[in-house]
């Protein structure tokens, strides 16, 4: 079982360094980092993310949390009306409902522009990407990551991923293999300069 307190202590120690915040030592790669975790620890991780965000902000490091689930609900409520998505779900079969969601929340045309507007209006020094597991199967993690790299350039991005990442393959919940994504670093392996 993963030690969440130790994991998040390491995350704080890494993220709070000037080297990390200035996106140094990346060899020209994009500043994307993945912190994968055991899906059974989701509640602990959610609490730890809030604590990490608060601790960083108290130490002068503003964080923009990009919660895919919250953004998705905002988009759906704006498009359909408050809570109407639940009525739509009742009246459609699963596949049709999934396709309807994907149409409304088109990653390229709707979701990424919404995230870009959040980033553009923020002075954050680091971005946290959360809620990845909550938007499956209508939004795929590799699709968001591939598109996000075009708009999240001003600060490093840390994606909290419910599953496994070996530096090449994302497996949501440790069960569902996504398309390969090799442009991110495993932040748990990040070594601090001494």
Q: How far apart are CA 93 and CA 100, in angstroms?
A: 11
Contacts with 150 (C-beta within 8 Å, 6 or more apart), sequence order: 112
Per-residue pLDDT of the chain (194 residues; tens, 9 = 90+): 579 999 999 999 999 999 899 887 666 677 899 999 999 999 999 999 999 999 999 999 999 999 999 999 999 999 888 878 888 888 888 888 888 888 999 999 999 999 999 999 999 999 999 999 999 888 888 788 888 988 998 899 999 999 888 877 778 876 656 555 567 888 988 776 65
Q: Read off the pTM.
A: 0.90
Q: How far apart are CA 16 and CA 179, in angstroms?
A: 31
Q: How far apart are CA 107 and CA 148, in angstroms?
A: 10
The structural domains of the chain, with segments of one domain joined by +, span: 4-14+28-155+179-188
């Amino acid at each position: 079982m993963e030690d969440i307190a130790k994991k998040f202590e390491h995350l704080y120690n890494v993220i709070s360094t000037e080297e990390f915040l200035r996106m140094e030592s990346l060899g020209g790669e994009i500043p994307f980092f993945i912190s994968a975790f055991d899906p059974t620890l989701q509640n602990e991780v959610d609490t730890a993310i809030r604590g990490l965000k608060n601790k960083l902000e108290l130490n002068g490091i503003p964080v923009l949390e990009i919660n895919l689930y919250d953004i998705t609900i905002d988009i759906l409520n704006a498009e359909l009306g408050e809570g109407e998505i639940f009525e739509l779900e009742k009246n459609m079969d699963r596949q049709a409902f999934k396709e309807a969601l994907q149409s409304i929340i088109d990653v390229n045309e709707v979701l990424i522009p919404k995230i870009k507007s959040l980033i553009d209006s923020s002075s954050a020094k680091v971005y946290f990407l959360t809620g990845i597991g909550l938007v499956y199967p209508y939004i795929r993690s590799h699709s968001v990551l591939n598109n996000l790299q075009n708009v999240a350039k001003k600060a490093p991005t840390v994606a909290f991923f419910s599953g496994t990442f070996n530096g090449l393959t994302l497996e949501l919940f440790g069960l569902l293999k996504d398309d390969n994504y090799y442009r991110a670093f495993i932040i748990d392996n990040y070594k601090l300069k001494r």
